[in-house]
Every structure is written in C-alpha cells, then in structure tokens.
C-alpha cells in the first residue's frame, strides 16, 4: 500500500509535485477501498494472472514506475516487485528524493543477483548523472544520510542505490 504521508514533506521542492500527489492519493484510496466499490472492482478487473499467481501490484503502479524509471530486463524487475510489493511505495518516494539530489537524471531499475549466494537478488536504482565523480558521490552520501538510511528497515536489504557517472 502507498504511504502518501511520507511524500508530503518532499512535494513542495519539485514543480510536478501536485500531479504526483494526485496520483499517489488515487492509488492510496484505491488500495484502501473495499472490493465492492466501483473503483476497486474496475481496478481489480485490470489485475493480471501471471502463471499460477496473481500480480500483487496494481497496473497503475507499474505504469507510474515506468514513467519515472527505466527497467532493465523489465520482466525480471516486475517479477521482483511482485515478490516484494512493499518496495513499490518506497520506489515512488525514492524517485522524488532522487530528483531532489540529482535533478533531471535518468534512473534505471535492475535486479542484480549475488554470485556468491544462490537465490539472493537485490533491486538497484542506478542513477545516471553527468556530475563529476566526487560531486556525484557527495550527493549520493547526502541522499543516504538525509533520506535513505531512514528507510532501511523497509527495504529488508532488497534495495539499494548506485551511480552511473557519464
């Protein structure tokens, strides 16, 4: 479920904040509604069946994430998010934060497997920036210190940031 309250404090800093707030509020209302409301029924009809399991993230959430992030190996990223749906709201919050520290940077989501631990995958948000390496690292440190470290209990060691300095 989305937690729009955690986004509220960051919205005034970005010009497109009001639009994001509307979308997050709509998703929050939808995810908190009962299955008998017309909105919930319409949204539920859009859910898909993948193999034998039902997708646990709403298509509108996937659509929003794909507007903000570029998925590397899309099916693998979607599978990972379906297995860890709690990361969706974190990713929505994260995009706003990344934009504050790395304006106009492209962000890629990629599932990375640990070669030393079988079956252990982690989702990375790679921030592509044109900043000089020392400045980019300083910004990443600020992002960590001022926001991401407070989120670590939510990510369960399944999500992290990295840089792609061009």
Domain coordinates in residue numbering, the chain: 5-165
pLDDT digits (tens, 9 = 90+) for 121-146: 999 999 999 999 999 999 999 999 99
Quickly tell me which residue has 């934060």 as its tokens. 97
The pLDDT assigned to 114 comes to 86
Q: Tell me the three-class secondary structure of the chain, residue by residue.
A: CCCCHHHHCCHHHCCCHHHHHHHHHHHHHHHHCCCCCHHHHHHHHHCCEECCEECCCCHHHHHHHHHHCEECCHHHHHHHHHHCCCHHHHHHHHHHHHHHHCCCCEEEEEEEECCCCCCCEEEEEEEEECCCHHHHHHHHHHHHHHCHHHHHHHHCCCEEEEEEEC
State the pLDDT at residue 113. 92
Q: What is the pTM of this model?
A: 0.68
Segments of the chain with pLDDT less than 70? 1-55
Buried b (16+ CB within 10 A) or exposed e, 43-81: beeeeeeeeeeebebbeebbebbeebbebeeeebbbbbb
């Amino acid at each position: 479920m989305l937690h729009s309250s955690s986004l509220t404090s960051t919205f005034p800093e970005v010009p497109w904040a009001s639009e994001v707030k509307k979308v997050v509020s709509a998703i929050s209302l939808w995810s908190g509604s009962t299955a008998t409301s017309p909105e919930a029924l319409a949204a539920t009809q859009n859910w898909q069946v993948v193999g034998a399991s039902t997708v646990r993230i709403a298509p509108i959430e996937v659509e929003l994430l794909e507007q903000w992030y570029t998925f590397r190996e899309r099916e693998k990223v979607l599978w990972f998010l379906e297995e860890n749906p709690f990361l969706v709201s974190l990713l929505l919050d994260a995009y706003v934060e990344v934009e504050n520290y790395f304006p106009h940077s492209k962000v890629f989501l990629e599932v990375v497997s640990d070669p030393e631990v079988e079956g252990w995958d982690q989702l990375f948000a790679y921030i592509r920036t044109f900043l000089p390496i020392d400045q980019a690292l300083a910004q990443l440190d600020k992002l960590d210190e001022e926001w991401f470290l407070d989120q670590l209990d939510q990510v369960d060691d399944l999500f992290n940031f990295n840089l792609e300095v061009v």
